[in-house]
């Protein structure tokens, strides 16, 4: 380990205890993507990090780059925002935690400034959203992340044969990766989705679309669909934060 510290905007998206006094943090950085770094002495009473390493904190990371492995050294974190409003309401915290969990698991350690900005803005929007819009803002944040990773569902063309699907009710197949035309859907057991729910899903996934209005039951149904999609296409196991958000009342 040598050289001058490298400075980069970062979000704290995960943290675990390491030994008696240190923490290993997962950082989403603007210039390197998702990385791990050890914050030595972070648990000491008079640590230079103070409370800066809380989940979803935002700031400037001072990193000593590792030459031999994937674990860098975090020597300082200049805090710019704690996003403390997320902790004031359980629904906000659940949505933001699910987003952080998904990001930690699936964003690679490669530069992607646009993706960093997208996640950063999503965290801020979840914190500031009106109470009745938190679920919808959270759903958009997670679906947009999934889409940016190249793993979103096919919306307007049949996931099997590419035939355009007309507006209205349509069949959605988790295994096939999106909506199916009438011919391909026949006999598959695909789930029939009402036009309003299909339109809502499209609005959540497509940039620039107006956010849909979802009541409690519809928001819960969309959380279940998202969790099932992640479980089928991204993760072999349960993601605890996403599961907690899925099950929320």
pLDDT tens, the chain, 249 aa long: 456 889 999 999 999 999 999 999 999 999 999 999 999 999 998 888 988 899 999 999 999 988 877 899 999 999 999 999 998 899 999 999 999 999 999 999 999 999 999 999 999 999 999 999 999 999 999 999 999 999 999 999 999 999 999 999 999 999 999 999 999 998 888 999 999 999 999 999 998 899 999 999 999 999 999 999 999 999 877 899 999 999 986
Asked if 101 and 194 sit in the same domain, the reply is yes
Asked if 240 and 138 sit in the same domain, the reply is yes
Asked if 92 and 19 sit in the same domain, the reply is no
Q: CA–CA separation, 52 vs 1, rounded Å? A: 24
Asked if 143 and 26 sit in the same domain, the reply is no
Cα-trace Rg, the chain: 20
How many domains are there within the chain? 2
Asked if 210 and 118 sit in the same domain, the reply is yes
The domain that holds 141 is classified in CATH as 1.20.1440.120
- Contact present, 85 and 54 (Cβ < 8 Å): no
Asked if 63 and 97 sit in the same domain, the reply is no
Phi, psi for 245 (deg, rounded to 5) = -70, -40
Tell me if 227 is assigned to some domain.
Answer: yes
| Residue 103, domain extent | 85-156+162-247
* Residue in 38, 13, 40 with CA at minimum distance from that of residue 28: 13
Asked if 90 and 192 sit in the same domain, the reply is yes
């Amino acid at each position: 380990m040598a050289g001058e510290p490298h400075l980069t905007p970062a979000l704290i998206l995960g943290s675990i205890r390491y030994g008696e006094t240190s923490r290993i943090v997962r950082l989403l950085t603007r210039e390197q993507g998702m990385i791990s770094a050890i914050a030595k002495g972070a648990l000491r009473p008079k640590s230079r990090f103070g409370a800066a390493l809380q989940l979803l904190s935002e700031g400037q990371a001072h990193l000593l780059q590792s030459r031999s492995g994937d674990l860098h050294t975090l020597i300082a974190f200049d805090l710019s925002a704690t996003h403390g409003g997320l902790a004031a309401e359980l629904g906000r915290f659940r949505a933001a935690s699910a987003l952080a969990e998904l990001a930690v698991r699936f964003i690679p350690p490669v530069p992607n400034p646009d993706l960093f900005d997208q996640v950063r803005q999503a965290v801020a929007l979840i914190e500031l959203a009106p109470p009745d819009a938190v679920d919808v803002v959270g759903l958009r944040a997670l679906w947009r992340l999934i889409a940016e990773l190249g793993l979103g569902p096919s919306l307007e063309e049949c996931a099997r044969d590419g035939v355009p699907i007309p507006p209205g009710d349509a069949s959605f197949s988790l295994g096939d990766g999106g909506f199916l035309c009438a011919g391909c859907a026949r006999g598959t057991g695909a789930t029939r989705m009402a036009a309003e729910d299909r339109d809502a899903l499209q609005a959540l996934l497509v940039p620039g679309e107006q956010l849909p209005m979802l009541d409690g039951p519809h928001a819960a149904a969309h959380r279940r669909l998202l969790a099932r999609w992640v479980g089928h296409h991204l993760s072999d196991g349960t993601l605890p934060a996403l599961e907690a958000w899925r099950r929320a009342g």
